[in-house]
Amino acid sequence: MADPVLRSLTHLARKLQQRLSLEEILQLAAETAAEVAHTRSASVRLLDAAGERLLAVARAGHPLHVDQHSAWRRGEGLIGWVAQHVEPLVTGDAQRDPRFVARQDQRSEIGSFIGVPIVSNSVCLGVLSVTDVERDAFDESCVEALLLLATICAPHIEVARLSRLSSADPLTGVLNRRGLEELLQHAESTRTLSIVMVDLDHFKRVNDTYGHGVGDEVLRAVANRLAESVRVSDAVARVGGEEFMLVLPGITRTVAARIAERARHRIERSPITVGSRPIEITASFGVATRAEGESHEQTIARADEALYRAKAAGRNRVELAVRTSTDGDGSRS
C-alpha cells in the first residue's frame, strides 16, 4: 500500500491540474496539510499587496482564534517570523518559544507548530502552518512533507493570484467590474446572497478642497476599511468613482445589515490621515438580499434604491431594501 503522505500529495497534485480558483487552491492546501501532519488545525495565510500583513485565507479544522480574520504582521509571532525570514520554523513547545505572541482571543493551547513559507520566483507569497495541542507532535518527515506541499502549490497560487489581479481595480486593489461580473456568475447557485451598495458622502468636496491625489488616498483607505469589515469569502468591488459594492454569499438580510453598520462605523469613527492632514469621511449604505427567483441585477437595483433612501434621509446611515418575496431570513413581506 502506498505511503499515506505520498498518497495525499499525489491527490493534491492531480487536483491542481484542474482549473481551480485561488480560494479552492488555498483550501485544498490547508486540508492536505492537516492530513499529512495528522492534526486538526492547519491554515494558509497570504501576504497582502504591500507584503506587510499575513491575511487568513484558508483553514482546515478548528480555528485557533475567535477572530478568524485577524491578520499578523510580517515578523510578528511564529507565522510572521516564517514570512520575514522565508525559512521553515518548527517547535515542539510553541507557547514557550520566544517568538510566540499570545492573543487574548486564542481558543486553546498550542503545543506544537510548523510553519513553512510559500515561495514563487524567490518571493514569499505567504505561510502554510499546522498546529497541535500536544507537544512534540511533529517530526522532521512532517516538515519535509509540508515543504514539498508548499512547493507544489506555490506556482498554482501565483498563477491564480496574478489572474485575480487582472480583475482588480488598480487604484484600490478591490475587484473591478470584470472581477465583479465573474464573481456574480460563480455565485449564481448560492442559495443566499446579500448585496450592499456603498457611496461616500460629499466626496466631491474632498477632491475640490484637497485635490484628486488626496481623493485617491481616501478611496484606497475606504476600500481597506470595507475589506476589513467582511469575511475572506466575501468580496469588495469598486463600481464607480466613489461607489463600492459588498458581495456577501451565504449572508442573510439581518446579518448583512450588521456588516454594513460595522463598515459604516469603521469609516466614520476615525479620520483618514493623508500626510499630516486628517480628513473626515462618511458613507451611506443600501442593503438587499436576493429574493426567490430574483436576478443579481434586480437585487443590485433594490440595494441601489435603498442607498438612495439613505442619502435622502441624511447620509451616513444604513437602509434596508424593501422585501419583494422570500428574503434571506426565510420570511415574506
Residues noted as catalytic: 242
What residues contact 234, with CB distance under 8 A and at least 6 apart? 246, 247, 248, 249, 251
Cα 235 to Cα 49: distance, rounded to the nearest angstrom: 16
What are the Cα distances from residue 7, in Å, to 14, 91, 253?
Answer: 11, 26, 43
Would you state the cell numbers that stand for residue 16, as one nine-digit string? 491542481
Q: Are 288 and 300 in contact (CB under 8 A)?
A: yes
Beta bridge partners, 6, equal none
What residues contact 112, with CB distance under 8 A and at least 6 apart? 90, 91, 92, 93, 94, 131, 132, 134, 135, 136, 137, 138
Q: What burial class does residue 121 get, using C-beta atoms within 10 Å of its C-beta: 0-12 exposed, 13-18 middle, 19+ buried? A: exposed
Would you state the cell numbers that stand for residue 46, as one nine-digit string? 497570504
CA atoms within 13 A on the CB side of 22: 18
Q: Is the dihedral of CA 21, 27, 31, 34 positive or negative?
A: positive
